[in-house]
Amino acid sequence: MSSTSRLLALSLAAALAAGCAGRPHRPTTPPAAAPLPEAELSSALHRYLGLALEDPARAALRARLVASIAQTSSAAIEAKDYDAVVDHIARITDLLTPSDFASGHLPRALEPLACFLLREGDRRGDEGRVLAALLILEVLHPEDQSYPRRYRELATWGREARSTIANPLERYGQLLDVWETHADLTPREDVLDTLARLHVERRDAVLAALGPRAESGGGARIAARIEGVTPIDVAAVYLQRGELGEAIAHVEGIADGGETAARLLFLLRGARGRSDAAAGALFDIAQGFRGPRPEVSEGVCRLGLRRFPRDPRFPICLARVAAADERYPDATEWYSQAIALSPGELESYDEALDALRQFIARGLFDTDATRGRALVTQARHILAERQARFPAAPESPLSDGQLDALEGAIDMNAGEPAKARRWFETAVRDQPNPAVLEQLGILLERLGEPAKAAARYREMLDQLPAGSPRTWVARAEGLEHLGDALEAAGDHAQARGAYREALASWDAHRAAARGKGLASLELHRGRLLDQLGKHDEAVAAFHASIVAAPRWRETYSGVLSYLVVRTPPDLVLATDVFRRALLGATLKPEWKVYFALWVQLIAARADRPTPPEVRSLLERMAGSSAWWGHLASLGAGALSYDAVRAHASDRGERTEADFYDGAAKLRAGDVTGARARFEAVLASGMVGFYEYIMAQALLPQLRPAATAASPPPPGAAPPARCPSCPAATEGRR
């Protein structure tokens, strides 16, 4: 954006923001309904999505869903968490239809969020979201004509500012990005119409720019592609919002739509009505969009769910989209609905169980065990129904033993290690497999039983053949685990052998890795190289990890959590990684605080002052009433331990308060007090938390010399898990 354009945008947004801060506006909706209990929220949303638009129950249920979402809106605004505010708006407007915007029936909860979006959106140059905020305020306050006037000014400016861009693909590409962002938050009919029109204008501008070149060679290929994709793009604008009739009308309205438009219209027209054939056509349309445009597929499936509530294909369609987006509890709920509608279809059972198998493999667990346990209950019900209805069917994609392992992983991350151990041991006894053995080994390490953990890792490796292209990652991670366990048990020589073998495996596959895969690989390499006393090479690997995926938060958390416990501390590297994280990654406020507290602890261990940028961030974040704000206050010295712990709402937060007060005591030179706090962290049982892992590694270094365990080799660090390793290590965050 040019400096002139930026100044125009700034002056415009300043005027807009003043409107939110000015006279109070009258509310346009009744007071908010009572929020739903957390345990009921997911099922209520699924029920809402299946209600016909004319169903009288829809408005009341929507009001309760909005109230549930809006409960944390004030905290997001207070924390100036831009992404969280956008997410709140998106979740609320996702409950609305284009006709809701036309009728003016918007939830009042959107107003403070929209005002925040005006102020912060301009500062970021987020044109599409500023337009969305303006539209929300225009609908909420129809008596205030300044909102539509300013909306028109910004929309006009957006076109004029790009009118000098010669390349039509670039010019319209920028405009489409803005209006797609706008439509995602506020799908009013005129916004969708503008977005659809931009697709057609782009086609016409590209064809005009090609001129005679559109008849042959590369120009003909470009022309054919833009002509073919335009009707699909136009239809997608409306189908994503469940507007089948509008999709048909606007594809019909495309001049010279060509063969693609004709074929597309045949499919779209076939989906009209409520016949079985129409349901099949609608499902086929959804399947066609599922790979390239899953958000459109989801919109079509929601339409199908409302129009054909007894057809199991539409909940299956929604389950597939959710599973691809790694929303496995959501997917399981949709699969359960599909199975209830059609209990005689074996494929539905197996597809649902396979999605759960992927969930287990990814280790996407939370410290709140409620949803996880509900998911397991659903899964066991699906599995039992499958076994009862299809006793002669081939083996299920998911077994009882794997569900036992899932129960263990859920309990492990919820701070119930004894329960987790029982589940894992049951799973290993009934159906041993590498994934369960790995989880049991990790848990045994956390419980201070490294020799038993090493035995489990060896069992795991025995089941993973060396040289297999399918299992090399699991084998490399298993060797690294084995090295950690042997190191903790005092067998340094064998530990180094395991580390060298793991490093060789990562090195052998380095050339083929890309993106996050390369970042994870380099993170493992850096840790292994450091364990083997090659710190300079380790630093290079850590830097390569960041370069491979500079916006991936796990890269930074992996390096920094390792450096917290490394001996000797490397404050220079930690500070550099912290700076890169603030500049390169998209971090939520809590992660900025955690990273700052970690670097502060590294500085304390190095007997150095807290870096200025770390101190400044903690002081700035200390004003928030969110939990991470209290932790920042503890790090900045603005709140006492007792005051912070009084704000803790669960065992996880109390564990964090203990750990970071231990860090504060270490900074103050109170080693005895720090040791007591870290021992309290271990007593919490929160074995999936970073803080637990770090306290476990730091405690041996703080014990009196007479009771300390044998030290690791010079230059090596105590074992320190990282989030690129199995996800059960990542805890609540």
* Closest alpha carbon to 363 in 327, 410, 396: 410
Mean pLDDT highest for which of 21-35, 126-140, 387-401?
A: 126-140
Task: Tell me what percent of the residues of the chain surpass a pLDDT of 70.
Answer: 90
Alpha helices in 271-397 (DSSP H): 276-290, 294-307, 313-324, 328-341, 346-362, 369-389
How far is the first Cα of the chain from the last one, in angstroms, to the nearest whole number?
A: 36
Q: What mean pLDDT comes out for the span 305-319?
A: 96
How far from 207 is each of 167, 215, 234, 477, 631, CA to CA, in Å?
A: 12, 10, 17, 53, 58
Identify the residue whose tokens are 């599995």: 383
Answer for the pair 244, 278: CB distance below 8 angstroms, yes or no: no
Instruction: Give the CA-trace dihedral at 89, 91, 94, 96, to 10 degrees.
Output: -70
Joined tokens for residue 423 = 């589940």
pLDDT over 50 at 625, yes or no: yes
pLDDT one-digit tens code per residue, 679-717: 999 999 999 899 999 999 999 998 765 444 444 443 334
* Closest alpha carbon to 38 in 650, 684, 624: 650
pLDDT over 90 at 125, yes or no: no
Q: What mean pLDDT comes out for the span 581-586?
A: 86
252/205 Cα distance (integer angstroms): 20
Q: What mean pLDDT comes out for the span 634-660?
A: 95
pLDDT reported for residue 7 = 34
Q: How confident is the model at residue 468 (pLDDT cuts 50, 70, 90)?
A: confident
Joined tokens for residue 494 = 């064998």
Distance of CA 134 to the CA centre of its chain: 27
Radius of gyration of the chain from Cα atoms?
A: 28
Comparing 239 with 359, which gets the higher pLDDT? Answer: 239
Counting beta carbons within 10 angstroms of the beta carbon of residue 540, is it exposed (0 to 12), middle (13 to 18) or buried (19 or more)? middle
Binning the chain into helix, strand and coil, the percentages to the nearest 5 are 75, 0, 25
Least confident of 27-31, 173-177, 307-311, 459-463: 27-31
pLDDT reported for residue 478 = 97
Q: What mean pLDDT comes out for the span 158-176?
A: 94
pLDDT reported for residue 705 = 52
Instruction: Give the CA-trace dihedral at 377, 382, 383, 389, to 10 degrees.
Output: 140
153's CB contacts (< 8 A; 6+ apart) are 12
Q: How confident is the model at residue 155 (pLDDT cuts 50, 70, 90)?
A: very high
pLDDT reported for residue 2 = 40
Q: What mean pLDDT comes out for the span 519-524?
A: 97
Counting beta carbons within 10 angstroms of the beta carbon of residue 30, is it exposed (0 to 12), middle (13 to 18) or buried (19 or more)? exposed
pLDDT one-digit tens code per residue, 225-271: 889 899 999 999 999 999 999 999 999 998 776 788 888 999 999 99
Q: What is the pTM of this model?
A: 0.71
Q: What mean pLDDT comes out for the span 333-337?
A: 92
317's CB contacts (< 8 A; 6+ apart) are 283, 286, 287, 290, 297, 300, 301, 304
How far from 57 is each of 52, 109, 320, 715, CA to CA, in Å?
A: 9, 20, 27, 66
pLDDT reported for residue 362 = 64
* Closest alpha carbon to 293 in 204, 184, 130: 184
Joined tokens for residue 486 = 């042997």
* Closest alpha carbon to 615 in 671, 575, 674, 568: 575
Task: Tell me what percent of the residues of the chain surpass a pLDDT of 90.
Answer: 70
Q: Is 163 helix (H, G, I), strand (E, B) or coil?
A: coil
Determine the Cα angle at 426 with ends 424 and 429, to 5°.
110
Name the DSSP class of 580: H
Residue 553 identity: R
